[in-house]
A = this chain, B = another copy of it.
Amino acid sequence: MILVSKTQIKLITSLQQKKYRNKLGLFVAEGPKVINELITAKLQLHSLYSTVDGLFEGETVQIVSEKELSKITALKNANNSLAVFKIPDKKPYVENGITVVLDAIQDPGNLGTIIRLCDWFDVKNLICSLNTVDCFNPKVIQATMGSIVRVNIVYTAIEEFILERNSPVYIGAMNGKNIYKENLPDKAIIIVGNEANGVSTNIINLVGNKVAIPQFGVNKKTESLNVATATAILLSEFKRITVS
């Protein structure tokens, strides 16, 4: 059994932090399912560790003990395999159908779910404000279930991004127009915002076109919809019209 060196442990655990991911151009994925999806998507493997032999055909796997794996995992309960991948080269934004824009999403689970939703609804581009959680955060990678390789994720100043576009822009907001009553286009930009504060005021002032998922019933007391849940419904509304 090959031991995981201290240098390897230091490298891998450092990748839990964004600054080291960016510096080294590497990120970590855990669990055989996600790892295999990333391998299939031709992401470049840096190193691969597993407590089980034979899970990754044609790849060089370093077999490790449970104890060794526990030293490099970012999860509470390690899922038998951990891989380090090279962060893929950035691809340019090419407008195509619906584009989703995220304004300061903080929760990795929410970002992961939204990436998975974009993949499901064939949204090619996901634009993230510079203060949105990093998509190569280990928790995001776990939540995406491999969808991360099929959605082009671009971090940029979203105000400028929006100003440069010609497509109609829609902001998800509690006090917007009833989305169910709108005639939605098949080419559009949808902006959803931070978990606590929603889309920021400067973006709202820039765009103005707010849409809401109405609350039903007479006793309207629900706090709000979770941002990932709201994004699911908004995307469903924009995409259902394309079903003939």
Give residues in A with beta carbon < 8 Å to B: 113, 116-117, 119-122, 145-147, 150, 178, 180-181, 213-217, 219, 221-223, 225-226, 228-229, 232-233, 236-237, 239-240, 242-243
Choose one: B116, B226, B233, B242; the contact of A116 (CB below 8 Å). Answer: B226
Which residues of chain B are within 8 angstroms of A225 by Cβ–Cβ distance?
116-117, 120, 232
Which residues of chain B are within 8 angstroms of A217 by Cβ–Cβ distance?
121-122
Q: Of A222, A225, A242, which is in contact with the most chain B CB atoms at under 10 Å from its CB? A: A222
Q: Is the CB of A236 within 8 A of B239?
A: no
Cα A228 to Cα B122 in complex, Å, equals: 20
User: Nearest residue in B to A228 (C-beta to C-beta)?
Assistant: B229
Which residues of chain B are within 8 angstroms of A240 by Cβ–Cβ distance?
180, 237
Cα A81 to Cα B228 in complex, Å, equals: 27
Q: Is the CB of A150 within 8 A of B221?
A: yes
Q: Is the CB of A116 within 8 A of B222?
A: yes
Q: Is the CB of A120 within 8 A of B222?
A: yes
Least distance between A94 CB and chain B CB atoms (Å): 15
User: Nearest residue in B to A118 (C-beta to C-beta)?
Assistant: B222
Cα A122 to Cα B213 in complex, Å, equals: 13
Least distance between A40 CB and chain B CB atoms (Å): 9
Cα A222 to Cα B115 in complex, Å, equals: 10
Which residues of chain B are within 8 angstroms of A243 by Cβ–Cβ distance?
178, 180-181, 214
Which residues of chain B are within 8 angstroms of A219 by Cβ–Cβ distance?
150
Choose one: B145, B214, B229; the contact of A113 (CB below 8 Å). Answer: B229
Cα A145 to Cα B224 in complex, Å, equals: 9
